[in-house]
A = this chain, B = another copy of it.
Amino acid sequence: MFPTRSSTESVSDRFDWLSVTLLLGGVLLCYYVVPLASLLFARSPHAIAGQLADPAVASAATTSLVTATASAAVATIFGLPLAYWLASADGRTETLVTAVVVLPLVLPPIVSGMVLLTLVGPETFLGEIAAANGVALTRSLVGVVLAQTFVASPFVVVTAKAAFEGVDSNLQYASRSLGKDRLTTLRRITLPLAWPGILAGITLAFARSIGEFGATVMLAYYPRTMPVQIWVSFSTRGLENAFPIAVILVGIAVAALVILTTLGRNPLAS
């Protein structure tokens, strides 16, 4: 009555299949690494150092770092509540709102730039109110952050939504039946448990922010971020000048991302 199993048959065959599959991942990794390596190794350290000394580059680097951090923070602060709400919304609303949330990704940069200008441009309602209060919504750090947030925040929302949905609802009930209200439960149980997904979203948002060009250049050509600086360098002096700046950008981004992932691990670990 007990069906026997041909247990070890073709074990080696199958194991190979897994390797073959993983090979695909290796191909993709190469597709990222090779162009980057060519970017890196084609430049002399000298050229890079030279660019670093350029005050315009230094100031662009600061601007980029500050605004990308701010944008990632804004995306997180505003995006997590939206994600949480979406995660608990029912099917139809969820599908539709999710589609709306990713639309900023769909819009080509020129369109996002334009529609943002129609919302926060100097002649608009919001733009004028802000200007009256001494805040410029374009051509300012705020402008950069507005542009980056528009483009990058969907990552936080979509990824965090999936992460929230993955949290066992029993644990949330357990917390609440211990007398903790929904906010406390969210803060101390749901959020930490969803954290890996959220962190992935913040990482993406930060990376996208620091690399954002299209919408930023429309909303805030000044103060210049690194991508704008790279573009200007490229337009004025060509590849040879632009690439070292790109290398600097990559360096900054890698450092920031490593810090983000390292710090980001703590909330879970503690």
Residues of A within 8 A of B (CB): 5, 7, 11, 14-15, 17-18, 21-29, 31-36, 38-39, 42, 77-85, 95-112, 114-116, 118-119, 149-150, 153-155, 157-159, 161-163, 165-166, 179, 181-184, 186, 196-197, 199-201, 203-204, 207-208, 210-214, 226-227, 230-231, 234, 239, 242-243, 246, 249-250, 253-254, 257-258, 261-262
| CB-defined contacts of A119 to chain B, threshold 8 Å | 31, 34-35, 38
Shortest Cβ distance from residue A210 to the other chain B in the assembled complex, whole angstroms:
5
| Closest chain B residue to A206, Cβ basis | B102
Given contacts A36-B103, A119-B35, contact A18 B111 (CB under 8 A): no
Please state the number of chain copies in the assembly.
Answer: 2
| Structural contact, A5 and B179, CB atoms closer than 8 A | yes
Given contacts A34-B119, A110-B242, A179-B5, contact A98 B203 (CB under 8 A): yes
Determine which of B26, B186, B207 lies in contact with A106 in the assembled complex, contact meaning CB atoms within 8 Å.
Answer: B207
| Closest chain B residue to A193, Cβ basis | B166
CA gap between A157 and B203 in the complex, in Å: 12
Determine which of B84, B179, B210 lies in contact with A7 in the assembled complex, contact meaning CB atoms within 8 Å.
Answer: B179
- Of A42, A162, A186, A253, the most chain B CB neighbours within 10 A belong to A162
CA gap between A145 and B230 in the complex, in Å: 25
Determine which of B25, B38, B114, B243 lies in contact with A83 in the assembled complex, contact meaning CB atoms within 8 Å.
Answer: B25
- Of A33, A163, A212, the most chain B CB neighbours within 10 A belong to A163
| Structural contact, A35 and B162, CB atoms closer than 8 A | no
A interface, by DSSP: helix, strand, loop or mixed? Answer: helix
CA gap between A23 and B80 in the complex, in Å: 11
Determine which of B22, B249, B261 lies in contact with A98 in the assembled complex, contact meaning CB atoms within 8 Å.
Answer: B261
| Structural contact, B250 and A39, CB atoms closer than 8 A | no
| Structural contact, A166 and B32, CB atoms closer than 8 A | no
| Closest chain B residue to A229, Cβ basis | B108
| Closest chain B residue to A104, Cβ basis | B32
Given contacts A102-B257, A254-B99, A254-B103, contact A78 B28 (CB under 8 A): yes
CA gap between A98 and B81 in the complex, in Å: 26
| Structural contact, B110 and A230, CB atoms closer than 8 A | yes
Given contacts A102-B257, A111-B242, contact A183 B150 (CB under 8 A): no
| Structural contact, B35 and A213, CB atoms closer than 8 A | no
Nearest 5 interchain pairs by C-beta: A25-B82, A108-B227, A25-B81, A35-B115, A28-B78
| CB-defined contacts of A34 to chain B, threshold 8 Å | 119
| Structural contact, A108 and B183, CB atoms closer than 8 A | no
Given contacts A11-B181, A35-B116, contact A98 B159 (CB under 8 A): no
